[in-house]
Amino acid sequence: MISRRRFMTHSCGLGVAAATASTTALTLGLTRSVSASTTDGYKALVCILLAGGNDSYNMLLPHDQDQYDEYTKIRSDLALDYDSLLPLSNQSESGRSYALHPGIDEIRQIYESGNLAFVANVGTLLEPVDAVGIQEGKARVPLGLFSHSDQIAQWQSAVSYNRTSTYGWGGRMADLLDPDPANGLSMNISLSGTNLFQTGYRVSPYTIYYQGDGANTVWSFPQFWSNGINAHTVIRDLLGVDHDNMLRREYSSRLKGAMDNYDTFVDAIRSAPEFETEFSENYFSGMLKQIARVIGARNTVGQSRQTFFVQYGGWDHHDGVVNYQAAMLPIVSKGLDEFRSAMEELGEFGNVTTFTISDFARTLTSNGKGSDHGWGGHHMVMGGAVKGGEIYGTYPELSEDSPLDVGRGVYIPTTAVEQYFAELALWFGVGRGNLDEVLPAIYNFYSPSGGEAPMGFLV
């Protein structure tokens, strides 16, 4: 086995961390003009970042007896009780069976209905590697493995090689598909602030909030002053002045654009239909409800493509992983089911695909209190276009001498993030000829010209 310290030293030696993009709320809808791919009809992608590193081997775990026995041997005090698990009805081609964490029955039901799939053992890679190559120091691995900041950046940018990236793959999609939004609103909308995933060469995410109408004004005082004068009108008149100074002129233009975007967004979201679906009173469900309202206003907003970004943090469970997941996973499960219900009310469930990402998985072995930073892990994809009820990719055979194990149950990914994201990007409307503009390293794992789907989990 290779030591974690040696492995980190080797991986960090390949480069420096990818930097997150720095943008402001005023930089909306600025894009370069390039050839677009297919944007007929409406489609949306909802990216959920489980920040901190979700222990996904206690979310999706083996259920056949011999593999469950290996699971309990490796996980020791972190292993979930067999009788508490939620078994999945289907088996793999090799006869393996799987089960879910006992707190996510809503996810199990959506899976069994054919509208949710799991993608197994996904992670950041530069190229396909094995444990022997890593132990011998011959394999190229992503920079900053086990580092929260580096791995979150690489999942959002789809750039794991030896250079920094200030653009995300969602932002690069916007550069291709929506170079000049007619109403000025970015197609990338974030419920969790400025993020790398949605930041393109010129595109920035439009940040909203989960409460109220979502958008805030660009100033912090009331619309009307105490003397009854309309402050907004005064500000707009001031911004209408033609400045000789180029910087003043540009600032006025940007500020006025942000104000116009606020008016456009609020008018649109107030026109959205009310849902019969009742969303839970928590932060995660609140963000999904606000996304549902924005999608409900899709015709008023006038966007044929939208991405949404949600960060739900707190998954760095170096201790208490069993108890913390018992509290947090049910929130995710319930929220996804509520969002599914709202999309079905709108008749858009088939046009909205929701997927999870995370920094990394966790070590299969226990540190005595919880689990530490790992590598490849399991993720969920939900939507009416998902060919669900299946586990895509390769769920590893669990054993103490697994050829994928580089130490302490840190498993090398068998599916690259590029393959996972390519399936989503092609469904979203990115052309095969443009796929490497969105995912620069895609040819290391998949040939877009081959005609076959990268993974096959989307219709």
141-180 residue pLDDT tens: 999 999 999 999 999 999 998 667 899 999 999 999 997 7
Task: Identify the band that residue 244 occupies on the pLDDT scale cut at 50, 70 and 90.
Answer: confident
How far is the C-alpha of 336 from the C-alpha of 346, rounded, in Å? 15
Helix axes 169-177, 148-157, angle to 10 degrees: 20
pLDDT(5) > 50: no
Helix (H) / strand (E) element for 90: namely strand 86-91
Average pLDDT estimate for 251-266:
73
pLDDT(10) > 90: no
How far is the C-alpha of 238 from the C-alpha of 249, rounded, in Å? 11
How many Cα atoms within 13 Å fall on the side-chain side of residue 29?
A: 14
Q: Which of 111-125, 204-218, 276-290, 324-338 has the lowest mean pLDDT?
A: 204-218
Q: Which of 56-70, 219-233, 253-267, 425-439 has the lowest mean pLDDT?
A: 219-233
Between the two ends of the chain, the Cα-to-Cα distance in Å is 41
pLDDT(296) > 50: yes
Helix axes 283-296, 246-270, angle to 10 degrees: 90
The better pLDDT of the pair 254, 237 is held by 237
Q: Which domains does the chain have, with CATH numbers?
A: 4-25+42-213+270-450 (3.40.720)
* Predicted pLDDT of residue 135: 86
Task: Identify the band that residue 34 occupies on the pLDDT scale cut at 50, 70 and 90.
Answer: very low
pLDDT(38) > 90: no
Percent of the chain with pLDDT over 90: 74
Task: Identify the band that residue 121 occupies on the pLDDT scale cut at 50, 70 and 90.
Answer: very high
* Predicted pLDDT of residue 426: 98
How many residues does this entry show for the chain? 459
Task: Identify the band that residue 11 occupies on the pLDDT scale cut at 50, 70 and 90.
Answer: very low
pLDDT(86) > 90: yes
Map residue 300 onto helix, strand or coil. Answer: helix
Considering Cα of 20, then 22, then 26, then 30, what sign does the dihedral take?
negative
14-32 residue pLDDT tens: 333 333 233 333 333 333 3
* Predicted pLDDT of residue 103: 98
pLDDT(93) > 90: no
How far is the C-alpha of 282 from the C-alpha of 102, rounded, in Å? 20
The whole-model pTM stands at 0.88
How many Cα atoms within 13 Å fall on the side-chain side of residue 443?
A: 6
At residue 167, what is the residue type?
Y
Mean pLDDT of the chain: 88
300-346 residue pLDDT tens: 988 999 999 999 999 999 999 999 999 999 999 999 999 999 999 99
370-402 residue pLDDT tens: 999 999 999 999 999 999 999 999 999 999 999
Q: Which of 89-93, 213-217, 408-412 has the lowest mean pLDDT?
A: 213-217
Both tokens of residue 403? 């050829």
DSSP class of residue 411?
A: B
